[in-house]
């Protein structure tokens, strides 16, 4: 159980293109979804946290107009990298959790397989 | 704020060797502790977890014990295999942080036949 599907797994596109990445929880309701960015040989950097039906909370230094996050249902969140440039090239990983604080706050995050984004 | 420190890699071992990856944390209250594993080109998989002091998490031969007195959650495996080659991340989740995970820097493990 607790499968998270992330699509696409790899994207190569030209500078200026907008790219949408989908994150789906397949067998559970994800109250909270998280979006991370990982640079080569480094740890994960949390970009934003989204709760179903509300606006995402972005971490300091992350441009919310650049990285648009939508969490319209309990099983789907999307990250759109708008007008992508080479410096946006990275490995993006989503995770989903059934917890949103309170008594559910010990629910683990379940991760997708990541999306490798390459902007030419 | 919360933080996780884990030993830097890479750690290179021979098959059947004993593996230890140290992890210590700083957090307020009583966080939950996790170990995640990342295979090349993939996302993270939850390896094991512990939610309170003295809990032992275990999975696939890996173990880690939540030690509040030393604020540690060291990962161990008695006999590694080549297939254990991956990057291992220690992480904590504090209730006050709304289920956010704070990751350590990751430790790359390479097991040679």
Residue A102: pLDDT band by 50, 70, 90 thresholds?
A: very low
Interface contact B104-A43, CB threshold 8 A: yes
Q: Choose the mutation target among A105, A110, A115, A118 for the interface with B, i.e. most B CBs under 10 Å.
A: A105
Q: Closest Cα partner for A55 from A43, A67, A46? A: A67
Q: Choose the mutation target among A32, A37, A93, A108 for the interface with B, i.e. most B CBs under 10 Å.
A: A108
A50/chain B closest Cα distance in angstroms:
11
Beta-sheet pairing, A90-97 with B3-6: unpaired
Percent over 70 (pLDDT), chain B: 96
* Residue B69: partners with Cβ closer than 8 Å, 6 or more residues away: none
Phi, psi of A82 (to 5 degrees): -90, 140
pLDDT at B41: 82
Ordered per-residue pLDDT tens for chain B, 113 residues: 889 999 888 999 999 999 999 999 999 888 999 999 999 888 889 999 999 999 999 999 999 999 999 999 999 999 999 999 999 999 998 766 667 888 999 999 999 99
* pLDDT tens digits along B7-33: 888 999 999 999 999 999 999 888 999
* Residue B13: partners with Cβ closer than 8 Å, 6 or more residues away: B19, B80, B109, B110, B111, B112
Selecting from A42, A101, A112 the residue whose C-beta is nearest the C-beta of B99 gives A101
Percent over 90 (pLDDT), chain A: 67
- Adjacent-strand bridge partners of B92: B33, B102
């Amino acid at each position: 159980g607790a499968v998270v599907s992330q699509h696409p797994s790899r994207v190569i596109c030209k500078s200026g293109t907008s790219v949408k990445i989908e994150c789906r929880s397949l067998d559970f309701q994800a109250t909270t979804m998280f979006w991370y960015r990982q640079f080569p040989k480094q740890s994960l950097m949390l970009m934003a946290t989204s709760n179903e039906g509300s606006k995402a909370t972005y971490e300091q230094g992350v441009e919310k107009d650049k990285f648009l996050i939508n969490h319209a249902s309990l099983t789907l969140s999307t990250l759109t990298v708008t007008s992508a440039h080479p410096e946006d090239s990275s490995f993006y990983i989503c995770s989903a959790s059934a917890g949103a604080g309170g008594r559910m706050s010990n629910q683990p995050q379940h991760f997708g397989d990541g999306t490798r984004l390459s902007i030419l | 704020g919360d933080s996780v420190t884990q030993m830097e890699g890479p750690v290179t071992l021979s098959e059947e060797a004993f593996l230890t990856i140290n992890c210590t944390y700083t957090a307020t209250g009583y966080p939950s502790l996790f170990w995640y594993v990342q295979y090349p080109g993939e996302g993270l998989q939850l390896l094991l977890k512990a939610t309170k002091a003295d809990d032992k998490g275990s999975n696939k031969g890996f173990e880690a014990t939540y030690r509040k007195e030393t604020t540690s959650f060291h990962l161990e495996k008695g006999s590694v295999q080549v297939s254990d080659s991956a990057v291992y991340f220690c992480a904590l989740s504090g209730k006050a942080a709304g289920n956010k995970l704070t990751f350590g820097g990751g430790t790359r493990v390479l097991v040679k036949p």
